[in-house]
Amino acid sequence: MTDDVLISIDGKAGRIRLNRPRAIHALNTEMCVAMAKALDAWRGDTSIEAVLIDHAPSPDGDPKKSRGFCAGGDIRMVQESGKEDGKAAREFFREEYRMNHRLFTYVKPVVAFMDGITMGGGVGISLPAKYRIATENTKFAMPETGIGLFPDVGGGWYLSRLPGRMGQYLALTGARIDGAECLALGLATHFLPSEALDEAKRRIADDPQAIETILGELSVAAPEAKIMAHAKEIDRLFASDRLEEIFTALEEEGSEWGNQQLEVMRTKSPQTMKVSLRLLYDGARTATFEDEMRQEFAVASRVCQRHDFIEGVRAVIVDKDNDPKWNPATPEGVTEHLIDQIFAPLPDEEAWTPA
């Protein structure tokens, strides 16, 4: 086990608390394994009626220092592995996706508290939950194309099922949305003020059968969901599954909002923007979440060792010069043949499987 995630039982609820505050609770391999083992142990335990997933407070108890629920995965480790044989990176993805799949198929109700930064891997452990709690602190994003990665942990499944072309917009731009916007898009099921979370957790642990009632009583009206003001623009400008056509649509639009999206997308990896569009196209047509995870593992296994990911992490996370040199540098340079290679199934002995 690891101190990076705290596993406990509180009344009738199993508790999973992420505990890497200095890394905004980013997931590592050991955390994913520990979470999966806890879920397995509680699956057949009749005294456990629900599972709560949140993050531990900062060591000194100051809520202002507890910035997020989960900022993603251990990207530096994945990059270092990707520069060599990629073995540790593949092991991380394998265990993370197995844990994601357990959550998705879990019989008992899971409640995820998305209080603060919820990005990448944090999305992967919250969206499978039956109850997904947003607050005024929620900052949700899948920003992977900015580091040469793609929205994994089920992103192809979840984002492709959002209204209109919202999923494509979020995947390509990495846009951050707040708790009200999460609620409006169905990414969150409830909106609670952060000061009500402790009461919610206490009451659910006491009486998990009353989760619906408890969350209903503690929910408040969410602020205006600003993203909905741009829903028609998003559906129109991001309508194509071809990246070049989306760029053309934004360029021809010429509006202030469209130009802002264009400027953002020009900083992203053309390769992984195309990977993301393919992922969502295929994901909308994928029959099971297991199939989705199998495909994403094949893609992740290859992308983590490609130039754009190594370079993106260097520029954004390691050196912080925010000036990655993508290769290919333009959407036109990323061929369909390359994307087909990235999406090709792995040999059976290397492919992802549920635990």
Q: What distance in Å separates the CA atoms of residue 25 and residue 295, rounded to the nearest whole number?
A: 26
Would you call 121 a catalytic residue per the annotation? yes
Do 72 and 145 contact (CB within 8 A), yes or no? no
Any catalytic annotation for residue 152?
yes
Cβ-contact 5, 31 below 8 angstroms: yes
**Strand, helix or coil for residue 239:** coil
Paired tokens of 122:
């944090």
Catalytic residue among 14, 68, 72, 73: 73
**The residue count for the chain:** 355
The DSSP 8-state label assigned to residue 56 in this structure reads P
Query: In Å, how far are 146, 182, 294, 337 from 344, measured between CA atoms?
Result: 23, 33, 11, 10
- 49 given a catalytic annotation: no
Residue type, 50: A
d(CA 142, CA 123): 8
- The b-or-e profile of 245-276 (16+ CB within 10 A means b, else e) is ebbebbeebeeeebeebbeebebbbbbbbbbb
Q: Choosing from 49, 96, 115, 152, which is the catalytic residue?
A: 152
**Which entry of 74, 96, 144, 308 is annotated as an active-site residue?**
144
Report d(CA 167, CA 184) in Å as an integer: 13
| Catalytic residue status for 167 | no
Q: How many CB atoms lie within 10 A of CB 186?
A: 13
Q: Tell me whether strands 13-18 and 131-134 are parallel, antiparallel or unpaired.
A: unpaired
Cβ count within 10 A of residue 340? 10
Catalytic: which of 121, 154, 167, 179? Answer: 121
8 Å CB contact between 95 and 30: no
DSSP secondary structure string, 177-189? Answer: EEHHHHHHHTS-S
Catalytic residue set: 73, 121, 144, 152
